[in-house]
Structures are given as C-alpha cells and as structure tokens.
Amino acid sequence: MASKDQIDLITNKIIIVFQINLATTNFDLSMVYYYAAGSIQQTRAFEGGRLKVEVVEDGIFPSAANANTTCFLKEAFKTGCSRNVPNGLIGMNMFIVWVWRFHNLIADTLAKLNPSWDDETLFNTARDINIAHFLQIMFYEFYTIILGRENMIKEGIIGCDNGFRDPYDPKVLPGLSTEFGYAARWFHITQDARQRMYDKNNNFIDTVAIINYSLRSQNLAFNKTMEGLAHGIHIQAAAAFDDTVHPDLADLGLGGLQRSFDILTADLSKGRYFGFAPYSQYRDFCTDYTIKHEKFEDLNYLMRPSKIEELQRVYKDLVDVELMAGIWSENLMEGAWVPPTIYCIIVNQLKRSVASNRHWYERPNRPHAFTEAQFHEIRKASLAGLLCAVGDGISEIQPQVFLRIGPGNNKMGCENIPRLDLTAWKDPISDSRY
C-alpha cells in the first residue's frame, strides 16, 4: 500500500520504484475474479451468475470483451482486450480456462436448482464454491504430494480428518511474501519443455515446444490445441527432480518473442532485484537459528560435497551465496519432493495464508459458511473431477492426476471419478444467502 507521500510523488509524475514485500494471494482465485475493487465487472456476464465467455472453434474460453470483440482470436493483441484475459505460461493459461468454465458450470446448475435466485446470489455462491474447490485441490492434493501429507498435518496446514476446522488467527497478517513466489521458480528445473499431444481417443498427435505457447493464450483456442494438450498433460511425466534443466529453458525461454533468453539466469537475477537476503540467512531462519551457517562446511547436511565445491568456485564466502543458487544445490528433503529451503518458504507462507484468512473455506463459523452437507461435497474436489467436468473432451483419467498412471492409479472412466453434487446447495425456501 502506497503512503500519502508516495501517492503525491506519483501524482506529480515522479516515478519512484518501491520494493514489494507482500502481494495479494492467489489462493482466492484472483487470477479469475481479480483483486482490484470493481475489476471483476469487466468479466461478469450479469446474467445467471455467469462469467463472460466466447466460443472459438467449438471451444469455450474466457472473455473480457464487449459484444463485438473477440479476445481469443489471433488478432487479440491488436484489439487490446487480451490484457484482461489470462496470458502467461501455458499451464496457468489452461488452468484458468478450466476454473473459468467450472464457475459457469456451477452457476448454471445452481440456477436450475434455485430458479428464484438472482444473478448476484448465483454469482457469489458459484464463486464461493469454485474457490473452495480450488483450495481443496491445492492443499489436499497438490501440496500433500510436494510437501508430504504427514508434514502438512504436523505443520497444521491441513486437517487430519474430513471435518470442519478453524485455523483463523486475527493476529496473523494476510499477504503473499515475495520469497514464496520466487521460490516457486525452482520448479523450472522439473519442467519438461516438450509436451506430447493426444486426441480424445488417446492417439498420439504431435510433440510441441512449450515455449512457443508462453504469452500466447489465444493459440490454445485453435486447431484443437487445448484438447491435445489437456489429454497429454496428465499422461506425460514431469522432468526429474534434479539439478539439470531442459535446453529450451536455458537457451530460448520465450520462444519466438526473444531469440535468446535463459530463464534460469533470469530467476537468479530476480533475487537481486528483490534484494533478498543471502541464502545462509534463510537457512538460519529455517532452523530457528539452532544451526549457524557461517562457512561452506556448515552445509554438509544439506548438499553433496560436489555442490559445495561448485558454490565455493563461484562465491568467495558463504554470505555471498544467493538464495536461488543455494536452493539449486540442496538435496531433496526426506518425505517431500522439494529441497529443505523451498519446503521452509512454502510452509511458512501456507501457514500464514490459512491462519490469516477470515473466509477460509474450512471454517464452520466464517461468513456464509458451508453446511455440513455442502462441505462434504467440497471434500470430493480433485483435479481429475475438474478435468472430467470441463477438460476438453476428457472421458477417462487417473484419479490422482498429479501422479503418473500406474498400479493403484490407473485411468478410469469419468463416471467413476467423485464429483460435487450441487443439490446440497438447493434452497428449500428460495431465500438468498447473500
């Protein structure tokens, strides 16, 4: 939040750069519903509680366009409207399309169940369900794999049963630390930059370079690209959790937008732009200062001797080692799929995000809290269920989409994947909850 003096400086057209220490969290699906007051008005259809969509080659995609403008056409950048719809990395683009569609699926079903509900009630209820559905997937499906379920229960991030819980602590300030977003860039080393595409019958189509789709959200709408990627993305495994990176990420990065761009070097540089503390100070913080990290030998419990030697060749003293360089050098943490410092930063953020959120979906006494029957349905949420509902012709999938297909996680028909039963939101007296 800018101070009055800062606002005066901005008003007088003097540009001053201020360091960002906390940003808004995306755990409320702000990439769909936006965070700035009034900005959601650009994407609401104001009919039936729906978000605006457009149909391109029989595919349904997000829109922020006026009636005579189409944002997903190849001329999107010329119209200027594409800045209001997702336009980033391909995985995020696809996920936003899915949760956007899922909002409208929820709204349409609620409208049939409760014909007396107005647009505002339908929209707010659909948004509430969509956000809770997303959080259930992220915290109980994705992060439990990355961080370890037992670890998350021990840290108090998730519950150990399916009941309500109230982690809210008014003394904890909300916000997203810059380190959390920065640490997520470590996952670049797990990214396979070539994606195989399949049709709805699981027939191989082609292999494409992911970098050619970055910052080109409109390309997903044409030539059944979204369908091919959606079927391939849950079949193909990620790259290994090691210290190597695909050449595309190290040489090309942004595809045709820039001839040469090293994403990993850019990741390292961003730590300097943000002015992060040295890696050793984060290790001190993560161990509650019970272990002092003052010399390279103090890292023996975290990384292989060869990695320590590499750091010594680049940095004169341990205090010079940058956060990302240290993280790259660490071994994976036991019981998790991330290095210890990544684990520490993510856990710290998740604990604060859960504790600071007055509207956290698991709270039984939050404003407009779910009933027991409704909460039971939210607990069914999974990425498999989401893809079966809105995932571009997917009719069969493995139950645990974040894990590879194999024994105990074989593909099955979507009719066997648990899905939300929205009859739990049927209002017997047709009264608005908002």
Residues annotated in a binding site for heme b: 188
Report CA-CA distances (Å) from 48 to 71, 116, 120, 147, 332. 22, 11, 8, 39, 48
Q: Which two tokens stand for residue 25?
A: 């969290």
Which of left, alpha, beta for 346 (phi over 0: left; psi -120 to 50: alpha)? alpha
Q: What is the DSSP letter of 372?
A: H
CB 422 within 8 A of CB 106: yes
Rg (C-alpha) for the chain, rounded Å, is 23
Q: Which residues contact 328 (CB under 8 A, 6 or more apart)?
A: 186, 189, 243
Residue 138: CB atoms within 10 A of its CB come to 16
Q: Is the C-alpha dihedral spanning 8, 270, 341, 405 positive or negative? A: positive
Q: Which helix (H) or strand (E) holds 214?
A: none
Please give the Cα distance from 228 to 226 (Å, whole number): 6
Within 23-177, where are the H helices? Answer: 30-33, 76-79, 90-113, 119-137, 143, 149-155
Measure the N-to-C terminal CA separation of the chain; round to a whole number of Å: 29
Within 114-233, where are the H helices? Answer: 119-137, 143, 149-155, 178-183, 225-233
| Residues contributing to the annotated binding site | 188
CB 135 within 8 A of CB 361: yes
Residue 63, burial from CB neighbour count under 10 angstroms (0-12, 13-18, 19+)? buried
Residues in the chain: 434
